[in-house]
Amino acid sequence: MIDELIARVNNWGRWGKDDQLGTLNFITPERIAAAAKLVRSGRLIELGVPWDSEGPQATAPRRYNPIHFMDQLPVDLRLPGDVGVADDVMVVPLQAISQWDSLAHVSFRRRIYNDHSEDMVTSHGAQINSIREISGKVAGRGILADFPSELGVDHLEEGYAITAEDLDRNFAVRGITPQAGDILLVRTGFMRLCRDRAWQGYHGDAPGMGLSAIDWLHDHDIAAIATDTASLEVKPFDAEGIGVPFHAVAIVHMGLLLGEIFDFEELSEACLEDGRFEFFFVAPPMPVTAGVGSPVNPYAFK
């Protein structure tokens, strides 16, 4: 099953042997300009979670929430005219909060995107396909697949695998025609559920993208996808004997940008209010040299 799927969606060499952008190649200046015309009210909606000790890694097995401390207080440095200066420091795993995975984040059968060896990811970071390669690239038309509001539920259930049929139905209801270069945002409602219970269960079984949706993403030339869950793909995984199978196919073979831990609650309300589930979306990652992921403070403009 996996090999047949890979054969259908493989983008290795599609944009040349030196390509490190993957599906972000679908975002052109013309598509960004068209997306900017979607801004009507000027409303700006923040889609990232706060950087603090109360974040989603509270129940995670390995990553931890951002650690913030002051290394200088106003009383520590006094300038002429009785001016005080404060400085602070943040320590944070780059994928602990709202974040993008780079195309070096996952390897499959010892290869990373565009048929490079996983040995290109060393203790010094990603020597190819790093997050730095796309730090000025992520902007365009965003489209929201808001399943809870469509189905009249608070959230999708743990283990619910989102399919191509789900996406087609949702966008037909919303009157949205997916276009090449779109950035797909998927709301499952799972973040709100888990945040209300102090993030318990957020890193366990969860709704998410199923392998059967990958053909849909490929056929529609989707540039990037982000969800409100911790792992983006459905858990338990829907392929036997392979960890994170959606990541293994989408990142490694499609070169598809994946985002996780996005907050779509306010965006959902805004889209329901004005009846428009498309918007101008901006979410460039931080320019982390050799990084395999990056926090992001994403925005939707209505």
The pLDDT score that the predictor gives to residue 1 is 85
In this structure, is residue 52 part of a structural domain? yes
Tens digits of residue pLDDT in 65-115: 999 999 999 999 999 999 999 999 999 999 999 999 999 999 999 999 999
Residue 277 binned pLDDT confidence (cut-offs 50, 70, 90): very high
Instruction: Please count the structural domains in the chain.
Output: 1
Query: In terms of residue numbers, what domain contains 59?
Result: 2-63+93-301
Nearest 10 degrees: Cα torsion 113, 191, 301, 275: 120
Whether 186 has a pLDDT exceeding 90, the answer reads yes
| Mean pLDDT, residues 223-236 | 98
Distance in angstroms (rounded) separating the CA atoms of residues 138 and 76: 40
Q: What is the DSSP letter of 277?
A: -
Q: Is residue 84 in some structural domain?
A: no
Q: How far apart are the first and last CA of the chain?
A: 40
Cβ atoms of 224 and 99 closer than 8 Å = no
70 domain residue, yes or no = no
Q: How far apart are CA 36 and CA 26, in angstroms?
A: 16
Would you say how long the chain is, in residues?
302
For the cut 90, the answer to whether the pLDDT of residue 54 exceeds it is: yes
What average pLDDT does range 113-136 have in this prediction?
A: 97
Q: What is the mean pLDDT of the chain?
A: 97
As separate numbers, helices (DSSP H) first and strands (DSSP E) second, the chain gives 8, 19
Q: Report the pLDDT averaged over residues 234-247.
A: 95
Residue 117 has pLDDT above 90, yes or no: yes
- 269 is a domain residue: yes
Mean pLDDT to the nearest integer, 272-291: 97
300 and 47 Cβ atoms separated by less than 8 Å: yes
Residue 287 lies inside a defined structural domain of this protein:
yes
